[in-house]
Amino acid sequence: MVAVYACADAEHGHDHAHTFHKREYPPVPLAPPTRPLEWGDINIIHTTDSHGWLLGHQKLSFPEPNYSGDLGDFSSFVSHMKLLALEKGVDLLLVDSGDLHDGTGLSDGGPPGSVDAHDSNKFMLELPYDVMAIGNHELYIYNNTLDMYQNFVPYRGGRYLSSNVNITIPNSAGQNVSVPVGNQYTKFTTLFGKKVTALGVLYDFTGNDVGTTVQPVADMVKEAWFAEAIAQEPDFFLLAGHMPVSKDNWPTVFNAVRAVHPYTPILILGGHTHIRDCNQLDGRSMSLESGRYMETVGWMSVKLDQANSTGNLTFSRRYLDPNRVTYEYHAQTSNYTFDTFVGEQITQGLNNLATTFDLSYLYGTAPHDYTISRSPYPSENSSLSLFIQQAAPVALAINNTRANIPNIMITNSGSQRFDIYAGTFTKNDQITASPFTDAFLYIPNVTYSVASQVLPALNGAGAAEKRALQERDRELYAKGEVDMIYKKWLEEMDSRARIEKRSTNSTLTLGYVTTDSCPGVGDDIPHTPLPYYYYPDFIGSNPPANVTASDPVDLVFVDFIESQLLGILNSVQTVKNYTSADVSSYTDILADQVLGLYAQMAWN
């Protein structure tokens, strides 16, 4: 991610200054957008689920160069677009739908004891956001929520919204009170005089930390403050929030507004499921969701009509690839006139932060790309295979007295969050690829014939198991898991391409190819869709050599799947009822250290 050229003497990585270079232009050719944006009376630039990807995607393998713009570039783009809007005499708003935390070294790579995203969020404050909404990743750790409440919200001028999310803090008398993290709603007037009522809604999230509360959306719309907020008719409602625009609770909010204002324009900016999506709940509204990891910048526009009108409105939407070619095309600038002073300062500041966090610390050089879903599992190019079949057996053997005892290692495939690309494998790459601090546990002396059944049984799905898996998916979704939805989206994209005999246009680069419910083509730039290969929910190491069915082995697994694994282990044998009392710590090494340790040994 970070545009760096790390020194080869990795073992001395902490002792020398790293040099960060602003990539003034993507080093690989990028296609320009196919057509100008459609402007309306109200125009919105939308971001969501940025998860700390503020220095852009700086690897050279596609699709990464499509997303190579950093937050400084984005700031310059917004500035130029604001000027264009001024020239056109129309309003341009900037909106974010949450999840600033958890994803890269900039947000998560600070020294021990530091608060995640405290430093990286300061750069988000440099952007002129009109409305921002809270995401679920702001709520997993109370101190992160408190940091937002104390050090972010006060600088957003009442425009950081948490309609249904509270934090518990001591009041002046020392008593604990529950208060909104941000504002429940805001009302403002645009530059050209349009009255706006805005809300910031989080989906029905259940994985929040103690000291925070998330009110169900269905209960929120019954609150007196909600009725008061929507009573007066604005020129349009702006419903921002960390909730997907399809198959979730936006209709609940929408219908509550429509019950009072049947024809007022409603603009919905959603998020959370990491996909590009759009739909229209009626002819006078549009709902837009703009991807993840700064891989998409969303655009929405609407041409308003006269007061008391009831006909359909003219909307447009576009999904932009965030890179300098895209930005300069739409901002009508050149590479020499594009950068603003503030934009350059943001880029420099982010690079300085990356240096402070030593994010370019070099573990080794990856010999080729390893991807989660673009390569079959298991295979040489699968990052899932890399983690559990190559890296874990090497890393977990370090200083381990049980290293010589045959074992089977199992983890959940969701533990791997991002692809690994050829070239330098740095501290930042380790954080983006495998961020979870799961501990490794083990059960000793499990008969190999039994232990070898656990992984297939975990992934097995008869009718009863499928129902159980669907229920588990619902629970995981409530706790914040979105991989199953993002995976399905990628799979559908690939399936359509196979049916359409995958584009043979060799000039197209890999990227997202979006189909949504809104009229026209949403993608700003045509791409060839990413290949997709199914992979199971659970993955395991290679079978140990020279072991017979009756030999004892160590059954090693991450703590995240302990309860599921114990249930499966008790279902495949009846000799012993295993409980958590049979489980011990296997190593002090955590899951987020595995790839770095492996790279130091295998990739140097």
Q: pLDDT digit string (tens) for 546-600? A: 999 999 999 999 999 999 999 999 999 999 999 999 999 999 999 999 999 999 9
pLDDT higher than 70, residue 6: no
Q: What residue spans of 90-174 are helical by DSSP H?
A: 105-108, 121-124, 142-151
Of 429, 407, 442, 415, nearest in space to 544 by CA: 407
Residue 27's pLDDT band (cuts 50, 70, 90): confident
Per-residue confidence (pLDDT) for residue 7, from 0 to 100: 32
Least-confidence region, from 9-18, 71-80, 190-199, 203-212: 9-18
Q: 21: burial class by Cβ within 10 Å (0-12, 13-18, 19+)? A: exposed
The pTM of this model reads 0.94
Average pLDDT value for residue range 153-167: 98
Per-residue confidence (pLDDT) for residue 1, from 0 to 100: 37
Residue 117's pLDDT band (cuts 50, 70, 90): very high
Alpha carbon 62 to chain centroid distance? 19
Percentage of the residues of the chain whose pLDDT score is greater than 70 = 94
Per-residue confidence (pLDDT) for residue 23, from 0 to 100: 47
Per-residue confidence (pLDDT) for residue 504, from 0 to 100: 57
CA distance 329 to 306: 33
CA distance 592 to 154: 34
Task: For residue 186, give the DSSP letter.
Answer: E
Per-residue confidence (pLDDT) for residue 2, from 0 to 100: 34
Per-residue confidence (pLDDT) for residue 10, from 0 to 100: 33
Give the tens place of pLDDT for each residue, 29-39: 999 999 999 99
Mean pLDDT of the chain: 93
pLDDT higher than 50, residue 21: no
384 membership: H or E segment, kind and range: helix 383-385
CA distance 147 to 131: 19
Give the tens place of pLDDT for each residue, 268-308: 999 999 999 999 999 999 999 999 999 999 999 999 999 88
| 297-303 and 42-47 beta bridge pairing | antiparallel
Least-confidence region, from 11-15, 53-57, 426-430, 582-586: 11-15
Residue 9's pLDDT band (cuts 50, 70, 90): very low
pLDDT higher than 90, residue 371: yes
Average pLDDT value for residue range 193-207: 98
Per-residue confidence (pLDDT) for residue 16, from 0 to 100: 35
Per-residue confidence (pLDDT) for residue 455, from 0 to 100: 97
Q: What is the CA radius of gyration of the chain?
A: 25
Average pLDDT value for residue range 88-94: 99
pLDDT higher than 80, residue 465: no
Give the tens place of pLDDT for each residue, 487-511: 999 999 999 988 887 655 678 999 9
> Buried b / exposed e across 116-147, counting CB within 10 Å, b at 16+?
bbbbbbbbbeebebbbbbbbbbbbbbeebbbb
Domains of the chain and any CATH numbers? 10-28+39-356 (3.60.21.10), 362-466+534-602 (3.90.780.10)
Residue 432's pLDDT band (cuts 50, 70, 90): very high
Give the three-state DSSP class for 183. strand
Residue 461's pLDDT band (cuts 50, 70, 90): low
CB 115 within 8 A of CB 108: no
pLDDT higher than 50, residue 15: no
Length, in residues, of the chain: 604
Average pLDDT value for residue range 210-237: 98
Give the tens place of pLDDT for each residue, 241-255: 999 999 999 999 999
Whether the CA torsion 396, 400, 404, 406 is positive or negative: it is negative
CB 314 within 8 A of CB 43: no
